[in-house]
Amino acid sequence: MTLSAPNEAQIACRLLCLNDLSNAVQSGHLHIVSLHHRNAPIERIGQFHVPEDQQKVFLSRLKTDLGLQGLAYLTTCNRVEFIMVDEAYFCMGRLQQLFQAFEPTAETMRELMSTAMVLHGDDAVRHLFRVGAGLESMVLGEREILTQLRLSMEKSRKWKIAGDQLRITERVAVETAKRIFTETDIARRSVSVNALGWKAFKNWGVSPEAPVLMIGAGQTNANIARYLSKEGYRQVHVLNRTPSKAEEIARPRHWTWGGMDELDSALQAGPAAIFLCTGSAQAILNASSAQQLPEGTSTRVLDLSVPAGIDAQFKERKNTSVIGIAELKPLADKNTEGRRTALGDCHSIIEQGMEELSSRLQQRQVELALRELPDLLASVRSTALGEVFSEELAQLDEDSRDLVDRIVAYLEKKYVSLPMKLAKEVVMEQLDKG
């Protein structure tokens, strides 16, 4: 029985099947089904929110039912993204199957099929990169979406539903978004009235020890509450028409709270600052309110209500400074326009991210293909020593057989590295041609 040792090229070809590998890089197609604030009402998007404690089971089953190679689920208050990898084209029938998992009515299904954004291949990748960088957000360049994308990626990996291509794609998406936030002006200028209002308040220099009154307990004041808490403000009193809503903001921070019937007494306590944001059609702070404030006290008011929650007579009170939407919106618009000027740089970074993704996917295919090489060479070694040269080895003494074994083991180790280097070069060349 004879055995001819394979040369490096033969091993590379045997292991890698270059044509098949080139196709493999291209075979896993990325698909994204997107429902967002531009193509669906908020209440419709809400129908696709899966409770946190149900996501693992639901998404695992969805991946199986759709026959996907990989699945990730990104959800925000105004966006749902189904990020999928599949060899087959994501046709309308499979889109319908995806939506049916949420048990929509016939009318809702028709609406979804006609309005949902469905993207494939490079278009899907670019969309994912843009989403991660806040370029598709309601507030251009908002950073929170990147955290949400990262969490979706972590969940998919943890639940083993991501797969290689999706794992690599989302990682590059996160890295690309970080570059955009770091290297461009897209997120450096505040555009939300919350952030701008807080900056204005900080410029007033109100001490954290000073009493603060918060009127309203909606999302805007909830955001302001986080700022106040972070800065160490402890004497905060929260009022709301529904006291339980005020309690939700105040109690976790050890603040006080009450209903709007306490407004006069709260003003009489002489707050150094007032945060006002309500949905009232009438001014909350008026001439009568101004009279409740202790004479001679300085009061700073940030009014983020629409319409304004302060009338002209209140503004005329001495030692009172007021900043409202009318003052903040022009600055917000200016900053938004400034962010838009950075879009060219953002797009350039995204295209660099596309190139990086292509390179990493190719490298991953090489890694997967080369996994077989050590086992193949171990098999060659075993055959050579156990079958081909067994009689010759039996004639040697123990020390000589040990030496032969060590020589073969050394050659095996070296023979792994050389073909792997050659194979990688050959594969990358083949992929570049493709």
d(CA 220, CA 192): 10
What ranges do the domains of the chain cover?
Answer: 22-188, 193-333, 372-433
Q: How far is CA 303 from CA 212, 291, 311, in A?
A: 14, 18, 11
Of 2-6, 147-151, 420-424, the one with minimum mean pLDDT is 2-6
At residue 370, does pLDDT exceed 80? no
Omega before 307 within 30 of 0, i.e. cis:
yes
Domain spanning 193-333: which superfamily? Answer: NAD(P)-binding Rossmann-like Domain (3.40.50.720)
At residue 21, does pLDDT exceed 80? no
At residue 308, does pLDDT exceed 50? yes
What fold is seen in the domain 22-188? Beta Polymerase; domain 2 (3.30.460)
Please say whether the beta carbons of 66 and 110 come within 8 A: no
Q: What strand order describes the sheet that includes 70-76?
A: 70-76, 79-86, 29-36, 117-120
Tokens standing for residue 310: 């302060």
Q: How much of the chain exceeds pLDDT 70, in percent? A: 85
Give me the pLDDT at residue 37, please: 87
More confident residue, 197 or 160: 160
d(CA 36, CA 77): 9
Give me the pLDDT at residue 158, please: 96
pTM of the model: 0.64
pLDDT, mean of residues 226-243: 95
pLDDT, mean of residues 247-266: 96
Please say whether the beta carbons of 340 and 140 come within 8 A: yes
At residue 12, does pLDDT exceed 70? no
- The model's confidence at residue 433, banded by pLDDT at 50, 70 and 90, is low
More confident residue, 85 or 195: 85
At residue 7, does pLDDT exceed 70? no
Please say whether the beta carbons of 107 and 151 come within 8 A: no
Q: Kindly tell me the burial class for residue 282, based on how many C-beta atoms sit within 10 Å of its own C-beta (0-12, 13-18, 19 or more).
A: exposed
- The model's confidence at residue 422, banded by pLDDT at 50, 70 and 90, is low
Query: How confident is the model over 357-368, as pLDDT tens digits?
Result: 998 888 887 777
Q: Kindly tell me the burial class for residue 404, based on how many C-beta atoms sit within 10 Å of its own C-beta (0-12, 13-18, 19 or more).
A: middle
Helix axes 8-16, 373-383, angle to 10 degrees: 130
- The model's confidence at residue 187, banded by pLDDT at 50, 70 and 90, is confident
